Amino acid sequence: MKKKLTIAAVVVGMAVTGATGVYAGSNFQQIKAALNYGIGIEVNGQAYTAKDANGKTMAPITYNGTTYLPVRAIGEALNTPIAYDAAASKVKIGSAGASSSSSSTSSVPPSTASSSSNVQRPQHIPADFPIPADAKVFDVIESSKDGVKSVVFSYLTKQSLDQLGNSYKQYFVSKGATKQSEEIRSDAFTIIDSGSTFSVTATGQPGTEDRQGYNEVNIIWQGQ
């Protein structure tokens, strides 16, 4: 029988996976952790399954004897607002966090996203970084330290996934990618590349639920 984890206090872990060893001064650090499918989650006496924005099940992560839960999913389960202050690099939990806004963070449904003539590009992404003209950008998190700019964001587009994947592959090669892990199909793509001045993870898959009819792309970028 699976163990039950009753949530009285939530220990929050935030991890970004991508190419490593590029920036000694970066805030990102690679760790070895395990997805722990043996731990169940119970919220107010009821079994709860954490899911991401696409409805995919998320497992707790165990690292050095501590269990980490996805903060946004747990916040939704507890009906507690979650906000990210990009300027302060701080996650805010509760009503105080909800009242604070950050120009670097947004969550935009398809019906209210920016039009194709006004794509909201993240500030820290290179000016020539490929983003489709019809992109609807959301969930942007940006930071900068020691000359290294980091940005995590997602966007929705009607552009085909294989076309997007190949355009990113060519772009990262032009930027000097020396380490490459790339899988590009008509229904999904995953690219994890790095060079002397950047590291990137780019994934794409069809949107689900209210994002059906769009393709969803997730980008994690670090660069100078």
What does the pLDDT look like over 203-215, one tens digit per residue? Answer: 999 998 888 999 9
pLDDT in tens, 96-114: 544 333 444 444 444 433 3
Nearby residues of 51 by Cβ (< 8 Å), 6 or more positions away = 57, 58, 73
Q: What is the largest CA-CA distance in the chain?
A: 54
Sign of CA dihedral 27, 28, 33, 37: positive
pLDDT in tens, 134-164: 999 988 888 888 888 899 999 999 999 999 9
Q: State mean pLDDT over 179-191.
A: 94
pLDDT in tens, 75-92: 777 767 777 666 666 777
Query: Got the DSSP string for 162-223?
Result: HHHHHHHHHHHHHTT--EEEEEE-SS-EEEEEE-SSEEEEEEEEE--GGGTTSEEEEEEEEE
Q: 215 and 156 in contact (C-beta within 8 Å)?
A: yes
| pTM of this structure | 0.54
- Amino acid identity of residue 159, one-letter, is Q
Rounded CA gap, 148 and 124, in Å?
9
- For residue 90, give Cα distances in angstroms to 23, 82, 117, 141: 21, 11, 32, 11
Domain boundaries, the chain: 3-99, 110-223
Q: State the pLDDT at residue 93.
A: 75
pLDDT in tens, 22-32: 433 456 667 77
Burial tier of 63 (Cβ tally within 10 Å: 0-12, 13-18, 19+): middle
Angle at alpha carbon of residue 176, lines to 151 and 216, rounded to 5°:
40
Whether the predicted pLDDT of 44 surpasses 90: no
